[in-house]
Amino acid sequence: MLHNEARKLILEAYDKGVSVKEPAKSFSVNTCSIYRLLKRRNETGSYETQTNLRGKKPKLSDVDHQHILSLLEKQPDITCLEIIETLDLPVSIDTVWRFLQKAGYRRKKKSLHANEQERPRCGAEEKRLERPYIWIQGK
């Protein structure tokens, strides 16, 4: 892959009337690469690399991000699976989990109040919390 400076030099040489073979030999690239570069410059007007088109596209859009955050504000003890089911997202639990971590959220164990605590000495039945964790923002 050619850097933008090399691309600029190749195009300047071509514009001065140098054949395609000479810059191809001096920059150690194939002549087809130079023809592709010329075609891109003619079609788009730019010779620079298109870095925004690289990599895997995100599964969650900005709209999905906003929906997840608003849902989290309404219900801080929601699970990732419930977020996916509520918003009907075509992603995995790990995808939602990673987004929440990047957004600055982390899970914290829900504190127990006196009536929710297990007290076998009082003779009450042992109860487990349905949602033992909540999402909080920050460290």
Is 67 domain-assigned? Answer: yes
Long-range contacts of 124-128 (CB under 8 A, 24+ apart): none
Confidence of residue 77 (pLDDT cuts 50, 70, 90): confident
In contact, 100 and 89? CB cutoff 8 Å:
no
On whether both 46 and 66 belong to a single domain, the answer is no
What are the pLDDT digits (tens) for 22-38?
Answer: 989 988 999 999 999 99
pTM value is 0.52
Q: Which domain holds residue 22?
A: 4-50
Q: Is it the case that residue 89 has pLDDT exceeding 50?
A: yes
On whether both 83 and 133 belong to a single domain, the answer is yes
Q: Closest by alpha carbon to 136, among 111, 92, 104, 89?
A: 104
Sign of the CA dihedral running 55, 59, 62, 68? negative
